[in-house]
Amino acid sequence: MPSAVRVGVVNDMADLGPGPGDLTDWLEREVERLHASGRIAASVEFVHAYGLGLPSGTAEAIETAFQELVEQDVVLIVGPAIGDNALVAAPLAERARVPTINWAGAERARSRYMFQLQVGSHEDESLVIARHLAESGARRLAVVYDSSPIGTRHLKYLEDEAAILDLELVARVEISPLANTADDQVARALGGEPDTFVYLGLGVSAPPVASALTRAGWTGTRIMNTAGLRGYHGDFAQVCDGWTYVDMHSDANRTLQALLKEQALPPHQALAAARGHDLGRLVAEGIARARDFSREGLRVGLEQVKWLPAAEGEEGTLLGFGIQDRGALHGRYLVLRQWLGGKSVEVAR
C-alpha cells in the first residue's frame, strides 16, 4: 500500500482560501487519533480547492474546484456543504469514480461514489416540522420558500405530509434565496390568514422574512428548517428570536457532551463540534478500513463504517454506511430547537 493518502477538501463557500465551512482541523484530529492507535499507518495529506458555489456563486465554480482535486490524484473528497452544490458534484464523483462525502441536506446527492453526512434533509426536515405542528394544534400554514432546488424540495415534502396530517397550506409564496427584503412576500403569505408561519430555504433570506413578519405585528407560531442553523453566527439569532427551527444536536447526546468536555468548548460551539467530529470520524474510519489506498479501496472502506455513536442528533444516533446505504446518520438525527434571547434552546418532545 502507498505510504501516503491524499484527501481532497472542496470548500463551496469560499473562492480564495480557508473561510466558512472549513473543517480541516476536525478531519486532522480524527485521523491523528487513529494514527496514534496504530489503525492508520500511512501519512494523510489534505489537499484543498475552493469555489464559490450556489446560490451566491456558480455551479461552474464547483465543477472547476472538483476537477482540480481529481487531477491531483486524491483518493477521497470531502464536500460540498450546500445542497445545490452537492447535486452538482454527485455526477462529477461518478464520472471520476472518486468516493466523496458531502455534508449537505440533499438526499438526491447520493450515488455509488457520493456518500453523505446529512446536515439536515430536504426531505426529512419537512416531515419533522409538519408532525410537530400537527401535534401542537396548528391547522393553517403560510409558507415562504426559496425559489431554488432547496426551497422547492422542502415545500414538496411539507405539502405531502400536510395532506396526510390534515394541515392546510393557505399560502405558498416564493422568495429569492438572496433576497434582502421580504415585506411583499410576507404580506401575501399573511393574506391567507394562517395560524402558523413557515420559512423553507437556505437561510440567507430568512432574516428579511423574520423582520418583515415582526413589522407586520405577527405573534403566532414561527418555524423554519435548518436555515435556523445560521443563528450561530452574526445577528441572525436576534432577528429570528422566537423562531423554532430544525437543528442537528441535542443537549442529551452523551457523545457530544463528552466531546465538549474534552475540548473545553462552550455550548454555542456544540453544533460545529458535533458536525466536525462526525465528519472527521467518517473520513478517518474510511481510511482505516480501506483494503488499499486506491479510490476503489476508499469506497469499500467507507462502506465498512458502521454503528459508530454520533455526536449529532439525539442520544443513540449512529454513524455508518453500507453497500447500498450512503446516508451516514441513522436514528433521530434531527432536533427541534428555538432561538430565545440569542440562545438556542432544545424543544421538549
Instruction: Please write the tens of the pLDDT for every residue from 35-89.
Output: 999 999 999 999 999 999 999 999 999 999 999 999 999 999 999 999 999 999 9
Say what the pLDDT of residue 4 is: 85
Enumerate residues 6+ apart whose C-beta is below 8 A from 169.
141, 142, 143, 158, 159, 162
* CB atoms inside a 10 Å sphere around CB 288: 19
Identical fold, 4-120+252-330 and 124-247 = yes
**DSSP at 251:** T
Residue 349 has pLDDT above 80, yes or no: no
Are 158 and 150 in contact, with CB atoms under 8 Å apart?
Answer: no
* CB atoms inside a 10 Å sphere around CB 153: 24
Which of the four pLDDT bands, split at 50, 70 and 90, describes residue 16? low
What percent of the chain has pLDDT above 90? 95
- Measured CA to CA, the distance from residue 181 to residue 43 in angstroms comes to 50
DSSP 3-state of 107? coil
The predicted-structure confidence for 202-228, as pLDDT tens digits, reads as follows 999 999 999 999 999 999 999 999 999
Residue 2 has pLDDT above 60, yes or no: no
Residue 27 burial class via C-beta count within 10 angstroms: exposed 0-12, middle 13-18, buried 19 and up: buried
CATH 3.40.30.10 for domain 124-247: no
How is residue 307 written as a grid cell? Answer: 454503528
The predicted-structure confidence for 114-155, as pLDDT tens digits, reads as follows 999 999 999 999 999 999 999 999 999 999 999 999 999 999
The ranges assigned to domains in the chain are 4-120+252-330, 124-247
DSSP 3-state of 172? strand
How is residue 187 written as a grid cell? Answer: 404580506
Which of the four pLDDT bands, split at 50, 70 and 90, describes residue 21? low
Identity of residue 132: H
Query: What mean pLDDT do residues 166-181 have?
Result: 98
In order of 108, 129, 151, 201, the CA distances from 105 in angstroms are 9, 15, 11, 11
Residue 250 has pLDDT above 80, yes or no: yes
What percent of the chain has pLDDT above 70? 97
pTM of the complete model = 0.95
Say what the pLDDT of residue 161 is: 98
**DSSP at 330:** E
Say what the pLDDT of residue 321 is: 98
Say what the pLDDT of residue 3 is: 65
Q: What is the CATH number of domain 4-120+252-330?
A: 3.40.50.2300
Say what the pLDDT of residue 237 is: 98
User: What's the chain's average pLDDT?
Assistant: 96
